[in-house]
């Protein structure tokens, strides 16, 4: 086996469209082979593409490959600049869709010499990830119309818009106009002439940034001597499909099972603690949901939610920090119907503060509908209660003059007008703030709060 694409880029320079088409076609067949066996590669990049002694493609390093036949992975693994948005969005499950995004990034590098999200050779991983999640790739005018359309299709942030992810997998990519004229059977039989034949016996990498992470404890201090080099020179290596399948079905499955067990054990422990907390409370509904948040509001974040008659609490999954509190009087509207956001069915809460919107979802359709119904019911009851308090204040204290009642919160601007006789609030914190602003020293609380 000869050098990687990275080495050839450093020696040969970038490839033209015809050369790139040859390599792209052979990589597509490799991805097709894995995806049909429900394996997502997760680390497609030039550094992992080898050329054999005849110049044909060999996909190497399946260390991050994962079986998604029974359960989709959600770990954020891979190489920055090639990872798909759904892979960067932690706790978001994905499948072969991730490989098609990485494939688009790899093709761009073969043509331009760098990832579309690694401009000016920056090595700031956070900046690369930010650009991947937010930046629209600008393609050079030198690219053909068909090439631009191919890359735009592969680099779609939304999975349901991405080429290769609309239901027909690799066939969608193979049928793209950029590959018009290719005989895919001839590609499979390796009948097309490779653009270049690698020098025999050379294995190199041009950039350590593009090499995956290794365990330093396992590699520290290891040096290859001349005797080692002589031993490995011209060493033939053939990995049978049977052995590859055995690795995928045993080693990788075992690793995934152990990780899943640890995650389930952690969640069960947290859920038991939350259940104990709610046994004696007035909690209407509680359980795990996902909230759209994170940098640029682009990632689904897992939260343990608790719905009470007057508020919604969103607890971080770790359970260590304070929960986010959303009071019912801050909510102007709960969406009547489920809406689609980032390919997921969601409930949307319109909050008066800052005119923001809170988007919640649940992988379980029945559970999501239960949250939607309970949120709408709690919101309606809360506002009806606030309205009845205002009417009751007039009857008890003999006033029907609405100008003498201060509605604090309830979706209205929090400002003092006139000289109110009563305050109608939804929480003691709002009540305390109103009293501080009014400057009253004595408060008698009987039903609605009367100021004296």
In tens, the pLDDT along 4-34 reads: 677 677 667 888 999 999 999 999 999 999 9
Residue 361: name the closest of 370, 264, 352, 353 by CA.
370
The residue among 11 and 209 whose pLDDT is bigger is: 11
Rounded distance between C-alpha atoms, residue 248 and residue 41, angstroms: 11
pLDDT tens track for 337-351:
999 988 889 999 998
Q: Which of 35-39, 382-386, 427-431 has the highest mean pLDDT?
A: 35-39
Calpha distance 55→52 (Å, rounded): 5
pLDDT tens for residues 304-331?
899 998 899 998 877 678 889 998 888 8
Q: Using CA of residue 347, residue 351, residue 356, residue 358, what is the dihedral sign?
A: negative
Question: Which of 288-295's residues contact partners 24+ apart within 8 Å by CB, and which partners?
Answer: 288/362, 289/360, 289/361, 289/362, 289/371, 290/91, 290/344, 290/360, 290/361, 290/362, 290/363, 291/358, 291/359, 291/360, 292/341, 292/342, 292/346, 292/358, 292/359, 292/360, 292/361, 294/89, 295/130, 295/133
Which pLDDT score is estimated for 272?
Answer: 62
Bigger pLDDT: 444 vs 37: 37
Instruction: Specify the CATH number for 5-249; select among 1.10.3470.10, 3.90.1300.10, 3.40.50.11440, 1.10.510.10.
Output: 1.10.510.10
Cα distance between residue 243 and residue 286, in whole Å: 46
The DSSP output letter for 366 is: H
114: number of CA atoms within 13 Å, CB side? Answer: 12
Please state the rounded mean pLDDT for residues 165-183. 93
Nearest of 29, 30, 22 to residue 48 by alpha carbon:
30
Residues of the chain with pLDDT > 70, as a percent, come to 67
Structure tokens at 109: 């590098």
CA torsion through residues 199, 203, 204, 210, sign: positive
**pLDDT tens track for 362-404:** 988 888 999 999 999 999 888 887 777 666 655 655 554 444 5
Burial class (CB in 10 A: 0-12, 13-18, 19+), 207: middle
Exactly one of 43, 99, 210, 430 is catalytic; name it: 43
Mean pLDDT, range 284-290, rounded to an integer: 89
Q: What is the DSSP letter of 47?
A: G
CATH topology of domain 271-380: PH-domain like (2.30.29)
CA-CA distance, 98 to 228, in Å (whole number)?
A: 38
Model pTM score: 0.48
- Non-local (6+) Cβ contacts of 308 within 8 A are 281, 282, 283, 284, 378
Q: What are the residue ranges spanned by the domains of the chain?
A: 5-249, 271-380, 394-451
Active site residue 43: yes
Q: Do domains 5-249 and 271-380 have the same CATH topology?
A: no
Task: Examine the pLDDT at 451 and tell me if it is beyond 50.
Answer: no
**What local confidence, expressed as pLDDT, does residue 247 receive?**
61
């Amino acid at each position: 086996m000869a050098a990687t694409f990275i080495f050839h880029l450093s020696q040969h320079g970038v490839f033209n469209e015809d050369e790139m088409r040859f390599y792209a076609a052979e990589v597509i067949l490799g991805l097709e082979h894995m995806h049909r066996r429900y394996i997502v590669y997760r680390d497609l990049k030039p550094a992992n593409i080898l050329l054999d002694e005849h110049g044909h493609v060999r996909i190497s390093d399946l260390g991050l490959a994962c079986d998604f036949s029974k359960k989709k992975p959600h770990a954020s693994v891979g190489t920055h600049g090639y990872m798909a948005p759904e892979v960067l969005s932690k706790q978001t499950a994905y499948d072969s869709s991730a490989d098609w995004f990485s494939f688009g990034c790899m093709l761009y590098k073969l043509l331009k010499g760098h990832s579309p999200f690694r401009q000016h050779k920056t090595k700031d991983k956070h900046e690369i990830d930010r650009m991947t999640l937010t930046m629209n790739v600008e393609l050079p005018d030198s690219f053909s119309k068909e090439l631009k359309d191919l890359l735009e299709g592969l680099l779609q942030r939304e999975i349901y818009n991405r080429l290769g992810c609309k239901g027909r997998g690799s066939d969608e990519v193979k049928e793209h106009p950029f590959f018009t004229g290719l005989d895919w059977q001839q590609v499979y039989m390796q009948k097309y002439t490779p653009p270049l034949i690698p020098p025999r016996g050379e294995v190199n990498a041009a950039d350590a940034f593009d090499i995956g992470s290794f365990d330093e404890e396992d590699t520290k201090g290891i040096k290859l001597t001349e005797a080692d080099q002589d031993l490995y020179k011209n060493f033939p290596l053939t990995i049978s499909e049977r052995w590859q399948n055995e690795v995928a079905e045993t080693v990788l499955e075992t690793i995934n099972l152990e990780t899943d067990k640890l995650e389930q054990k952690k969640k069960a422990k947290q859920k038991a603690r939350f259940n104990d907390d709610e046994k004696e409370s007035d909690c209407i509904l509680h359980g795990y949901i996902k909230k759209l948040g994170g940098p640029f509001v682009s990632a689904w974040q897992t939260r343990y939610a608790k719905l009470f008659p007057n508020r919604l609490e969103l607890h971080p999954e770790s359970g260590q920090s304070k929960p986010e509190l959303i009071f019912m009087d801050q909510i102007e509207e709960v969406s009547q119907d489920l809406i689609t956001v980032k390919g997921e069915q969601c409930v949307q809460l319109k909050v008066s503060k800052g005119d923001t919107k809170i988007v919640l979802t649940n992988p379980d359709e029945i559970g999501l509908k239960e949250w939607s119904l309970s949120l709408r019911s709690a919101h309606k009851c809360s506002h009806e209660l606030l309205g009845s308090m205002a009417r009751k204040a007039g009857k008890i204290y003999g006033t029907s003059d609405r100008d003498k009642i201060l509605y604090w919160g309830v979706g209205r601007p929090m400002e003092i007008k006139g000289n109110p006789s009563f305050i109608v609030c939804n929480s003691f914190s709002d009540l305390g703030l109103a009293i501080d602003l009014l400057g009253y020293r004595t408060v008698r609380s009987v039903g609605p709060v009367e100021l004296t």
